[in-house]
């Protein structure tokens, strides 16, 4: 009977060059996988902040001028502008100064939202017209002339950052 398990004398393994190439390739792939797992797929992991430069009462509303954010933020990076009276919240989404901008400064008109019984309009002015939040850019919340913000009321203005869903700013407006 012939041995099935006999060692073949003419059998060779993978050449040393091919083995080295395979080991290097496997190491590179594993390093890349570990890098992605540890550091994520990139993108912003923190929410930039912005401060109020000035809050000014205007006829039937509020004008809020902003400072430069802690990192470059396009208006397109804002997921929502919110105004709350503590009970109700008006929220404007799909913010983009490209909506109605034709010149510098760029003005985006975002229509009305209900804040309880109050109708509130939002206009955003990008002073540089570059589509980015910059020093002095401002938002104006107004109401129709018949209805106005309560002089004894307190309102909260919030900007939400699209990448993280976090608040870039949340500040109080009184009266």
Domain-located, residue 47: no
Q: What is residue 35's predicted lDDT score, i.e. its pLDDT?
A: 84
Domain-located, residue 165: yes
Q: What is residue 128's predicted lDDT score, i.e. its pLDDT?
A: 82
Give yes or no: residues 30 and 80 share one domain.
no
Q: What is residue 102's predicted lDDT score, i.e. its pLDDT?
A: 45
Question: Has this prediction a pTM greater than 0.75?
Answer: no
Give yes or no: residues 23 and 59 share one domain.
no
Domain-located, residue 2: no
Domain-located, residue 4: no
pLDDT digits (tens, 9 = 90+) for 54-101: 888 888 888 889 988 888 888 888 888 898 988 899 898 877 655 544
Domain-located, residue 24: yes
Give yes or no: residues 96 and 159 share one domain.
yes
Q: What is residue 152's predicted lDDT score, i.e. its pLDDT?
A: 64
Q: What is residue 98's predicted lDDT score, i.e. its pLDDT?
A: 52
Q: Which structural domain, as residue segments, surrounds residue 18?
A: 13-42
Give yes or no: residues 167 and 112 share one domain.
yes
Give yes or no: residues 127 and 69 share one domain.
yes
Give yes or no: residues 22 and 71 share one domain.
no
Local confidence pLDDT in tens for the 175 residues of the chain: 566 666 666 666 778 888 899 999 999 999 988 888 777 665 546 888 888 888 888 888 888 899 888 888 888 888 888 989 888 998 988 776 555 444 445 566 777 888 888 888 888 888 887 888 888 888 888 888 666 776 667 888 899 988 888 888 888 877 5
Distance CA 55, CA 152 (A): 16
Give yes or no: residues 111 and 88 share one domain.
yes
């Amino acid at each position: 009977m012939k041995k099935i398990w006999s060692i073949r004398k003419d059998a060779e393994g993978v050449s040393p060059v091919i083995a080295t190439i395979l080991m290097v390739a496997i190491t590179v792939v594993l390093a890349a996988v570990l890098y992605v797992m540890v550091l994520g797929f990139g993108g912003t992991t923190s929410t930039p902040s912005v401060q109020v430069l000035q809050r000014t009462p205007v006829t039937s509303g509020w004008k809020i001028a902003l400072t430069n954010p802690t990192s470059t933020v396009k208006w397109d990076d804002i997921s929502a502008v919110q105004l709350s009276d503590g009970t109700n919240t008006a929220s404007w989404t799909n913010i983009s100064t490209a909506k109605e901008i034709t010149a510098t400064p760029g003005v985006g008109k975002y229509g009305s939202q209900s804040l309880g019984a109050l109708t509130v309009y939002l206009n955003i002015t990008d002073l540089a017209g570059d589509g980015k939040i910059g020093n002095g850019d401002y938002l104006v919340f107004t109401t129709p002339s018949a209805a106005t913000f309560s002089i004894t009321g307190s309102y909260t203005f919030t900007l939400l950052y699209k990448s993280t869903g976090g608040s870039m700013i949340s500040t109080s407006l009184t009266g």
